Structure 1
Amino acid sequence: MAETVEISRPQPGVVALQLNRPQRLNAINEVMRGELAQTLAGLAADSSVDAVILTGAGRGFCSGLDVRDFGPGIPAATAPAIDRMRFQESMAALPQMIRALPQPVIAAVNGPCVGAGLALCLAADIRICADATTFGNAAILLGLSGAEMGMSYHLPRIVGTSVAADWMLTGRTVSAEEAERRGLVSEVVDADRLFERALEIATTIAGLSTLGVQLTKRALQANTDAPDLAVAMELENRNQVLSHATEDAAARRQKWS
């Protein structure tokens, strides 16, 4: 039984994954890091799951790394560079695992989303937030690089290079209103409706063709970095040929004929 990650299945095909250290605003400690990695690995292999909701318990989404009480696995600044590199890689693996899930991930950001929490949020496919949510890149405020856990890859692609540089170089707090205006989130909703709205989106996705949805997710990821339109279309064309021949697609076409 996980201590720090709570899993539920609110609708067929939908899994809700809730970070569960509310007393610490769901800051990531050693236990949560391990449990989150294990949970994500399990979801990746679970063909009964078509969409995933990622959210936090209590009044926060994730306040980043728990620097006060992470556990014995965090290396000191004086530890060998190789040990500190392995620790950083273990943290960076979390957003990589979210991005690599075959199922679309909806981040329902219910409160402060900072540092490592922001990295998890950026790795999701769809991001919505509550109206009182705030976002921040905290590493720069601690004397570290603001580029960590995929931040310098994801954020410029989502909000643009200049806005990403502003947020990452200053570490300032970003409101829900600014996050929506800049395109970080697609919707801002009342806090009491946040999970309901995320579930509506996830349920809609879960009701669609599994293959079509997963091919679409992968095409969006791959073609964000496509060198030109022709390369992007090559992937799109193959995806359409693959999905067109399925029984699922044939049944759905019948409804429209």
Structure 2
Amino acid sequence: MSFVNVEKPRPGVCLITLNRPERMNAMAFDVMVPFKEALEQVSFDNDVRVVIVTGAGEGFCAGADLEDPGWLDIFNGLTVPGIARRAMKILDDVIKTIHDMHQPVIGAINGPAIGGGFCLAMATDIRVASDKAYFRPAGINNGLTSAELGLSYLLPRAIGTSRAFEIMLTGRDVGAQEAANLGIVSKSVEPGQLLDECYRIAERICGFSQLGVELSKQMLWAGVDAGSLHTHMNHEGHAQLFLRMTTQNFEEAIKARKEGRPPDYKD
């Protein structure tokens, strides 16, 4: 049985599904390693313009697999601290891979996103939640820290410091509608409409210039990380000049608008 399913349900769209529903798609290593490999492969599939990540069954991702986290050969010969460091690297790399993908990644949050699952959801570029979804920073409830896998970096930037601090320090559940109100997700929809809504967003993105979309994603994340407005505006300007001077996208957009047709971008 494959714990990660990769499909192409629509032109230009790839759907990657965590497929261990009986364990709520928990982050066992035999799930996360093939998941990262699938993300890396899809990132360089130039026919894929948008990626959607979701979970099979009732949950998106339950975070740490408390039943059986799995064993990898890279753990052989190590003591517990060494194993922990290797394990952390594997999970960190999943988050970084999503961040670094060429394509925008839409998180279709179909159910509970708990602990590392909350972190995984926040790593995606756009998030849409089923009404059945909820988000929980679980570490604080287990005598640990809720700051893991980038959550203490990404959540405050998405919803502001006070609300992020309150959620992460209380370890409470955030339901789908509240998540939409706060900005954790773009919107919440009925469960049967979740993928259709994600496809709708994806298909709109697919209609734009491939390079334009890739650079927009890169500039958005660079803006999140920017040390100063002036530095970031310089990066934006060079990205815009690159597209304007090396492609015919702008001319095609103007021509298509005059002719009353969708633009046919080549780049």
Report the TM-score when normalising by structure 2: 0.90
Partner of 1:31: 30
Q: Partner residue of 1:49?
A: 48
Matched residue, 2:134? 134
Partner of 2:241: 241
- Tell me what 1:175 maps to: 175
Q: Distance in 2 between the 1:43 and 1:138 partners?
A: 30
User: Residue type of the partner of 1:31?
Assistant: D
Alignment partner, residue 21 of structure 1: 20
Report the Cα distance in structure 1 between the residues aligned to 2:220 and 2:201, rounded to whole angstroms. Answer: 18
1 CA distance for matches of 2:217 and 2:173?
30
Q: Given residue 235 of structure 1, which amino acid in structure 2 is its aligned partner?
A: H
| d(CA) in 1 for partners of 2:46, 2:212 | 14
1:83 Cα deviation (Å)? 2.6
Shift of 1:252: 2.0
**How far apart, CA to CA, are the structure 2 residues paired with 1:191 and 1:161?**
30
Q: 1 CA distance for matches of 2:256 and 2:54?
A: 35
Rounded Cα–Cα distance in structure 1 between residues aligned with 2:79 and 2:176: 38
Residue-by-residue CA offset, 1:153-183 (whole Å, 9 max, x unaligned): 1111111111111111121111112111111
Deviating above 4 A after TM superposition, structure 1's stretches of 4 or more consecutive aligned residues are none
Of residues 219-228 and 7-16 in structure 1, the stretch that sits farther from structure 2 once superposed is 219-228
- Residues 131-173 of structure 1: CA distance to partner in whole angstroms, max 9, x if unpaired? 1211101111121111111111111111111111111112111
Instruction: State the alpha-carbon separation in 2 of the partners of residues 148 and 102 from structure 1.
Output: 24
Residues 1:164 and 2:164 aligned together:
yes
Matched AA of 1:232:
H
Residues 159, 184 of structure 2: 8 Å contact kept: yes
2:115 is matched with 115
Deviation at 1:82, TM superposition (A): 2.9
**CA root-mean-square deviation:** 1.7
Q: What residue is the counterpart of 2:63 in the other structure?
A: 64
State TM-score, norm by structure 1. 0.94
Per-residue deviation, 1:230: 1.7
State the distance in 2 between where 1:35 and 1:227 align. Answer: 35
1:206 — aligned with what? Answer: 206
| More contact order relative to length (CA 8 Å, sep ≥ 6) | 1
- The 3-state SS of whatever aligns with 2:184 is coil
Which residue in 1 is equivalent to 2:264? Answer: none
* Percent of aligned pairs with the same amino acid: 38
**The residue matched to 2:25 in structure 1 has which SS?**
coil
Inter-partner Cα distance in structure 2 for 1:113 and 1:66 = 13
